[in-house]
Structure 1
Amino acid sequence: MGGGKFMRKRLWRWRSNPLRRHDDIVEAWIVLAVWAVVAVGGTAAGLVTAHAADETFARQRAERHSVQAVLLTDVSDGTSSVRSSSDKALATVRWTAPDGSTRTGQTLVDVGQPAQSRVVLWQDDQGALATEPPSPTEAAVEAGALGTLAGFALTGVVYALGALARWRLELRRVDGWGREWDLVGPRWGHRTT
């Protein structure tokens, strides 16, 4: 019983009513449009973003390859001025690129390794150093998180625009009430005797 009364209250803007104003109808359509865009658009934005991120991670896994490199310098606690929070230090390394050429560069490696130690690096198809691509599980989790974030971002923007439109309608209603009161209000002060 209580549910029917609740629904009648919620859907009052859609019923034919002599007290219903044009702004009430506009507000009802705004609310409906916001919820439709949130439901459909938020889901679509999330799915498209997750799919695009997953494809990017898959491409990274296909383009990046691990390679054995040789440390050219000792990596001790005081060797490098650049330190990361995970006990890594910047060191010079040498590796062989896919075209067979020998390259040298700097990358973060574990602290405490002597010169001539072997380390595993990641390179792209051109032989440039790259970060390790995410595993399929890590990629799925990150793609899902990015998709969720995109869906929520679109939802937030649409909800804010809907709230702004409803606020403008409310200002218009208040101004209309003010104009009507200016016409009717002075008549209330007169006594009829």
Structure 2
Amino acid sequence: MRARGRTSRWLWRWRANPLRRHDDVLEAWLVLAVWLIVAVGGTFAGFMAARSAADVLAHQRAERAPVPAVLLTDAPQASETYRRAVVTVRWTPVGGPARTGKTLVDAGRTAGSHVVVWTNPRGDLTTEPPGPTESLAEAALFGAGAALGVTGLALGAGAVGRCLLDRRRVESWGREWDQLAPH
């Protein structure tokens, strides 16, 4: 009997009650819908965003390749604010002619030094792809961000809906009071 009492209190908005108003039922359904969207929609959005990010990052790791390069200019010495510098390098992509371009290297390197640069399938310079651990962390952050975004939108929409229902209830109480006050 006690468990049934708890359940009936939890579901009070749906049970037959002479004091229950139509707005109470609407609010109960609104709250249920918001929590379903948070639970199901947030989880789904987070999972899909994390999976998409992981796929993109895995594709980057698969297509980018390290290539040896030679510095053509000296890199300036390190300062308190800059530990890296942009210099001109020459590299030979796989199956292609030698190319030159600018990239970031550690400060203080001299011309003729050997460095490793990363190239895309066309042989153009690109950034080093994130490693598996970094990719996992980035994918998790993207997934959490998507889940929080869906959750925030659902909770915000639910709060606006409840505010509108509260305003409607207050106006209804005002009309009822105007009818009863003279008596």
TM-score by length of 1: 0.87
> Paired residue for 1:157?
153
> SS state of the match for residue 92, structure 1?
strand
Q: Which letter does structure 1 place at the counterpart of 2:172?
A: G
| Distance of 1:38 and 1:84 partners within structure 2 | 47
Conserved in 2, the CA contact under 8 Å of 1:46 and 1:150? yes
Give 3-state SS (helix, strand or coil) of 1:140's partner: helix
Q: 2:165 aligns with which of 165, 169, 178?
A: 169
State the 1:128 CA deviation.
1.2
- The answer to whether the Cα contact below 8 Å between 1:91 and 1:107 also exists between their aligned partners in 2 is yes
Equivalent residue number for residue 63 of structure 2: 63
Task: Give the letter for the 1:40 counterpart.
Answer: V
Structure 1 residue 76, shift from structure 2 partner: 2.3
Q: Distance in 2 between matches of 1:57 and 1:20?
A: 54
- Cα RMSD of the aligned pairs, angstroms, is 2.1
SS in 1 for 2:13: helix
2:109 to 106, 113, 116: 113
Q: CA deviation at 1:85?
A: 5.0
Show the 5 A alignment for 1:127-166: 127-166=123-162
Query: Retained in 2: the 8 A contact 1:98–1:126?
Result: no
2:34 corresponds in structure 1 to 34
| Partner AA of 1:51 in structure 2 | R
Q: CA deviation at 1:6?
A: 5.8
Q: Quick one: which amino acid aligns to residue 153 of structure 2?
A: V
* Number of residue-to-residue matches in the alignment: 183
Matched, 1:182 2:182: no
> How big is the shift at 1:123?
0.7
The alpha-carbon deviation at position 186 of structure 1 amounts to 2.3
Aligned residue in 2 for 1:92: 88
> Gaps spanning 5+ residues in structure 2: where?
none
TM-score (norm. length: structure 2): 0.92
Q: Give the Cα–Cα distance (whole angstroms) in 2 for the partners of residues 36 and 61 of structure 1.
A: 37
Cα 1:134–1:3, aligned 2, differ >3 Å: closer, same or farther? farther
In structure 1, runs of 5+ residues without a counterpart are: 188-193
Change (3 A) 1:3 1:86: farther
Instruction: Write out the 4+ residue segments of structure 1 that deviate beyond 3 Å after TM superposition.
Output: 1-10, 83-86
Displacement of 1:11 in angstroms is 2.3
Conserved? CA contact 1:98–1:125, under 8 Å:
no
